[in-house]
Chains A and B, each alone.
Chain A
Amino acid sequence: MASGGLSSGTDFLRNSAAAYFNQVYQHPPMQVAAEVDPSLSWKPSIQLRVNDHLVVLAEASETPYPIIFRLRRTDVLQLQMPISIYCVCPEEAYLEEQAEVKELRAHGYGLLTVAANGTVQNRFSSIPIVQQIPDAEFRQEITGLPPKIKRSVSEAFDLYNHNSPAGVSNITEVFEGVILKAAREAVKKTWLKAKDAKPGATAATLAAMSLAPQFANCAAAIGGAQAYVSRYRNTAHHFPKNKKQAHRKYRDCRNAFVNGIKEVQDFRTAMKNVGLTGNI
């Protein structure tokens, strides 16, 4: 199948997208209508291995949300490699099918549109599907947080959607900020010493909390925070050596981000329960 697309109009779209990817990723190894993995029942129009950390797949389609995306989403998630997926559709279809476009974006796919003269526009990017957090899930997770933290977490989410390790670092910093505030309030109440509430020493702060008798009833929240910080603090800095490690790293990013929000919620509640009612 020469085109790699289903319909006959997809050659033009595929060629335009290939030129775009060549320009953006500086001529990466590119395959047309080739197998991604023997277990995946889908040969995308284009696939390119940007590096060991990222495989980009693109499907040329006359509509913004090709049906193969719905059929194969779960299968793609099973593959041990980080995969970003784009739809390449005509500009006219993008303008006419806004409902499909919204859905495509919400499901974590990227979209390139091609004008009649072949000009390609990146409408929105795709992050590897394995690390994608749907908007609806995110909104549900932040319900109940105070506005100031909500804003910080939303900013971290925005960053996550462009660069997930950086987004995770950001949410971890938000969490560390919450811990520090609780510790400073505890210092005011003389539950902790001033040296236990210093910025950049979260592990020491949590250790001091766990030893203070006033925090005896929130050992679980403190333990959870200790585990979270030690596990995810440096997620962004571990450089994966191969696509399997990269896949794990991106999957961890997703878990780190979602768990980060949960930990912030749990920690705030626990601190309030022990009497720290300040601006945590």
Chain B
Amino acid sequence: MTIRTIANRQKATDSRPMAQKLRLIAPEDIRPNPENPRLVFRQEEMESLMLSIDKHGVQVPITVYEHEGAYYLLDGERRWRCVSKLNHKFIPAIIQEKPSELDNLVLMYNIHALREQWDYYTIASKLQRIIDLFRLNNDYEPNEIELSELTGLTRGAIRRCQLLLGLPERFKKMLLEELEKPKSQQRLSEDFFIEMEKSLRAVVRRVPEYAERIDEIRDVLISKFENNLISAVTDFRQLSKIGTGLDTLDVARGATINVLDRVFDANQQVGIREAYTETVEFEYVEKRVTKYAFDLDRFVLGVIEDDRRQELDTYLVERLEHLYNTLSNLLGK
């Protein structure tokens, strides 16, 4: 259900034209929209907007609806914040009718998603409510495509949001507290949780025993990240590779699980990178080289078959001779 769908539905159910009034409203009479998923406002972008408003005033009116004597924002929280900071007495606002909760949420998504990249937590925080309201109205849960159409988000973004939505409340609270800190003091980002969750899914799928203590594992990984034993968010991709390696590589399952146990143990000073090196790094290199070897073999066979030996670059021939000698040593021939 896009903005157009909502507007059409409104037309169908209400033959009167939608009442829209342009007014000057005191900023202190305005409240943030309770459904606005946008929680994070960055200093740089806000200062740049404030500078513009200080110079030129508010050029585009904000949009509000009236409810029980107060105005609630539909669009324009950043402008409203800047105007409040600048002690403006009034702000131009278009007053609309109060939308339904689902319409309000969908409007929020569509208004904001069109303009700039939202933080994932911001999106995820209200996505569940949209799913619930949709289910209530339609008697079934929206799939990824329907959610994408409804909110204007890409399916990839929805998948990432769902990883955050799947976090236990305690971790969501932890992330929200982190996001509310000044940017320079944020250690745990949305990316951290998204990458951690992806990797844990990959591991738990192969080693279901870990599912029972998954929260404890999350705590250990967070603590190791905060103490720099896990030095980058991207390390979690290596954790995923250790997990998938159990299926796709010829590695000893017991030994790999043993190393994972050490990564998931708060008392062991083992990070993901060491675990990766110890378990699957060589096998992944082997796998990659196998592909190179296959490609090389196919290329050489092609050259022989087409009789194009004379066309080979001298440097390539030198490298092939060198490789031949190295392989002879390696294979003992």
Contacts and interface: CB of A to CB of B under 8 A. Distances in A.
Interface of A: 1, 6-13, 33, 35, 40-43, 61-63, 66-68, 71, 89-93, 96, 116
A1 B179 contact: no
Contacts of A116: 181, 185, 187
27 contacts: A1-B84, A6-B43, A6-B46, A6-B47, A6-B81, A6-B82, A7-B43, A8-B180, A9-B43, A9-B180, A9-B183, A9-B186, A11-B180, A12-B182, A12-B185, A13-B182, A41-B87, A43-B84, A43-B85, A62-B184, A66-B43, A67-B47, A89-B182, A90-B185, A91-B185, A93-B182, A116-B187
B116 to A, nearest CB: 15
A33 B40 CA distance: 19
Contacts of A43: 84-87
B85 A8 contact: no
Given A67-B50, A116-B181, A42 B87 contact: yes
A66 B182 contact: no
Contacts of B47: 6, 66-67
Interface in B71-103: 80-82, 84-88
Contacts of B80: 1
Nearest to B186: A9
Q: Which 4 A-B residue pairs are closest in the complex by CB-CB distance? A: A9-B182, A92-B184, A6-B46, A62-B43
Contacts of A91: 185
B324 interface: no
Given A12-B182, A41-B88, A42-B85, 9 more contacts: A1-B81, A1-B84, A9-B180, A40-B87, A66-B47, A89-B182, A91-B185, A93-B182, A116-B187
Contacts of A12: 180-182, 185
B282 interface: no
Nearest to A44: B85
User: What DSSP secondary structure best describes chain B's contact surface?
Assistant: helix
B78 to A, nearest CB: 9
B39 interface: yes
Contacts, number: 84
Interface residues of B, number: 28
Contact of A7 (B42, B54, B87, B88): B42
Q: Is the interface of A mostly helix, strand, loop or mixed?
A: loop
B41 interface: yes
Contacts of A40: 87
B252 interface: no
Nearest to B47: A67
Contacts of A41: 54, 86-88
Interface in B51-82: 51, 54, 80-82
Contacts of B184: 62, 90, 92-93, 96
B82 to A, nearest CB: 7
B43 A33 contact: no
A113 B182 CA distance: 12
A91 B184 CA distance: 9
A10 B85 contact: no
B54 A10 contact: no
Nearest to B54: A71
A8 B87 contact: no
Contacts of A62: 42-43, 182-184
A6 B41 contact: yes
Contacts of B85: 1, 6, 33, 42-43, 68
A93 to B, nearest CB: 5
Contact of A92 (B40, B84, B185): B185
A35 B54 CA distance: 17
A30 B209 CA distance: 55
Q: Quick one: which of B82, B84, B179, B183 has the most chain A CB within 10 A?
A: B183
